[in-house]
Structure 1
C-alpha cells in the first residue's frame, strides 16, 4: 500500500520520534521494499499481517523529547470486560494440561483480551501519545513505544501503545538477538522451578528459530534466567543471539523463522497455535505480535514482543483493548495462572483508566 500519506501520524520509541508516514507495506510479503532505505515503524498482529510504515521525518537522540499530547482521558475502571472469565480460563488451563498429558503439546500461552469503550471525541481518535506519557511515568519499560496512523489517509490505520518489557528481535552489526521472558511473580521469592523450566524450554525454541537465519554454530545463549525488576513484578529473561547469514537482514526469512514469538505461542509452536485458536474466543490483534522499528539505512532494528500493550479501534464507537496471559505447562495450577494474568494487567490497566486499578 502506497500513497501520498495519511492524515497525520507518528511513531515513537526510545530516542526516536517519527512523523509523516508516506508508505505502508506488508513486511512478510514486501520486505524487498526495505532495500530502498528509510525508517520504518512496525506493528504485527499475532495472528495476522505484519505491517511497516515508512516515515518521512525522523528525529533521533539519546533523549528525544516527546511531543505535547493532550491530557489522557481513559475509560472508567469499572468499564473493562474480559474475553474469558475466571471459570472459563481455569477450565481452559485444565484442557491444556490434558493435551500436555496426551503428548500433543508441552506448553501453551493462554491469553485473554480486556476491552473498554473509549469513543472518539469530535471525530478525533484518542491521543495515543498521551497514553504513552502516562505509561512512561507510571510504568517505564525498556521497549516502550507506539505507532498511530489515523484513519482518513491512504495508508492502513493503526493505534498501538506498548510498555513491553520483552525484546523480540534486535538487529545490529549483522547480529540478531532475542530476549524471551518466561517466569513472572510479584517478587523473586515467588519464582518457581516451573518458571525456570518453562523459560529454558522457550529459550530453546528461540535458539531453533534463530538457527534458521544465522550462520551455523553462531547461535548462543548470552544470559540464562536473568532476573529483571519491573513495576509490581519480576521476570526471568534469557538472551539468545546469532550471526545473520551473509550478515544482512532478510526480513521475510527472519519472520518466517520466528513469527509469532515463541514466548507467547507455545511448544511445539504449530500445535500450540492450534490450541490457542481453539480456546481463545477473540483474536489477539497486536497483543503478542510485534511493535518496533527498522532503520533500513543503517541495517538496525528493534522489535518488542507486543505484551503490556494497548490498542484502540473505531469499531462499536471506539474500543480500547489490553491483553494479558500466562504460559501453561503440566505443572500449572489453574487458579495460579489466572492470578498471573491479573498481576500482569492490574497496574497498567489502572494507569490507563480513570479511578485506579480494578479489583480483579
Structure 2
C-alpha cells in the first residue's frame, strides 16, 4: 500500500496498531450517538469549539505495524516562509497579560491561549487533495508520538470530509470496558531540569478539573490519580503528565447514548481549555481571533464491537481544507487550499508573557519544519 493511492477516494484512517479503509457512513456524535452503539469501527474527529464527527469504516486491520510503503515521497508541503500566525508576537503577549489580569480579578485560574499557523497548499493525487499518509510518514519519522494517527475522508466520498494528521502525545479518553482513563499534559520544557514550579502547579490544577469531569460519569469513589506529575520524554521536549482513571456508572456504561454523555461531561479537554472551564472558554473566544477547528479537539477511534476506544487531544495536529487562507479572497470560494497547525500555552498568574510565546514556538518548531517543503516554493 503506497502513499494514499486506493485508500483515497473511499477514505482511510490509521492509528497505532489499527488501519481502516472504506468509509461507510458518517454521524454527528452529539445528535445521533446511538448509531455508534450499533457496532463497527469509527474514526473520530472533533472541533475544539464545534461538533464531534465519526466515520465508520468497512475494513479494519488490527495489530498492524507502521506502513513502510507509506513514504514521505508524496508530500510537498508549504515553504517554511509561507506560514503565518493568527496572533503575532505582540498580540500574543497582550493576550497573556489580559488573561493574567482576569486571574488577578478572580475570574479564572488558568487559560490556554493558542494561535493557529496556516500556509497555502494546493491539492494532490487523492481526489485533488494532498497526500495525508505521506505527511503522517514524515511526522512518524521525525517526531514519533504515542497517539499519532490520521483520518482522510476526501470530499469526493459523498460524506462530510476530513483531512487530519496528528502526532499527539496526549490521551484525552481511553475506554476499556467500563474503565475510563485520561492523561492530561501540563508543563513543557526542552529538558526535565527546565520544568518549574509553575508547571507543577498548573498540572495539579488541570488534574483537579479532569477528576471533576470524570466524576460526572464514573461511580463514586472510583476516580483516582494513578500517576501524578510523571515526566515523559518526546522529541525535542519533555512534558509533565498525570493519569486519572475511573469506572463508569452502570447507567452510563449501558446507555445507547454513552458517547454523548461522556463528551458532555469532559469536552473540550480541560488541559487545552482552562479552569474553571466555562470561564476559560469565554476568555478563549474573546482573545483568540480565529476558531481552533480540530486543534485542541479530538482525534482517535471507537471500536463499538470490542467496547474500547482511544481518543487523543488533537495537539501537534495538522488539518487541511480547500480554499484560501483566513481573510483572503479566492474567486467563487475556490483557492489553493490551506494547511493549518495550532500551538499554545497554559497561562497562569505566574506566567511570563515572553516565556509563554517561546513555549508556543518550541511546540511548533519541529512539526512545522517536518511539514514544510525544502524542495519547492509555496504556491501564492
The answer (yes or no) to whether the contact 2:70–2:137 under 8 Å persists in 1 is no
Name 1:345's counterpart in structure 2: 364
Question: Secondary structure at the residue paired with 1:330?
Answer: coil
What is the CA-CA distance between 1:29 and the residue it aligns to? 1.7
Q: State which of 25, 28, 40 in structure 2 corresponds to 1:26.
A: 28
Q: Is 1:308 aligned to 2:316, yes or no?
A: yes
Q: State which of 104, 119, 122 in structure 1 corresponds to 2:122.
A: 119
Deviating 4+ runs (over 6 angstroms) = none
Name 1:222's counterpart in structure 2: 226
Name 2:163's counterpart in structure 1: 159
Name 1:59's counterpart in structure 2: 61
1:1-360 correspondence to structure 2 within 5 Å: 7-63=9-65, 65=67, 68=70, 70-121=73-124, 124-246=128-250, 247-248=253-254, 250-316=258-324, 317-355=336-374
Question: Secondary structure at the residue paired with 1:152?
Answer: helix
The one-character-per-residue Cα deviations of 1:189-213 (angstroms, maximum 9, x if unpaired) are: 1100000000000000000000000
Unaligned 5+ segments in structure 2 are 1-7, 325-335, 376-380
The one-character-per-residue Cα deviations of 1:233-256 (angstroms, maximum 9, x if unpaired) are: 000000000001114471111000
Unaligned 5+ segments in structure 1 are 1-5
- What is the count of residue pairs matched by the alignment? 351
The answer (yes or no) to whether the contact 2:11–2:157 under 8 Å persists in 1 is no
Distance across 2 between alignment mates of 1:27 and 1:217:
29
Question: Secondary structure at the residue paired with 2:340?
Answer: strand
What is the CA-CA distance between 1:173 and the residue it aligns to? 2.4
Root mean square deviation of aligned Cα: 1.4
TM-score (norm 1): 0.95
Distance across 2 between alignment mates of 1:188 and 1:218:
31
Question: Secondary structure at the residue paired with 1:206?
Answer: helix
Distance across 1 between alignment mates of 2:176 and 2:66:
21
Question: Secondary structure at the residue paired with 2:156?
Answer: coil
What is the CA-CA distance between 1:72 and the residue it aligns to? 1.1
Distance across 1 between alignment mates of 2:41 and 2:68:
18
What is the CA-CA distance between 1:76 and the residue it aligns to? 0.4
Distance across 2 between alignment mates of 1:248 and 1:264:
29
What is the CA-CA distance between 1:71 and the residue it aligns to? 2.3
Question: Secondary structure at the residue paired with 1:213?
Answer: coil
TM-score (norm 2): 0.90
Distance across 2 between alignment mates of 1:124 and 1:185:
39
Name 1:3's counterpart in structure 2: none
The answer (yes or no) to whether the contact 1:16–1:64 under 8 Å persists in 2 is no
The one-character-per-residue Cα deviations of 1:261-280 (angstroms, maximum 9, x if unpaired) are: 00000011001000000000
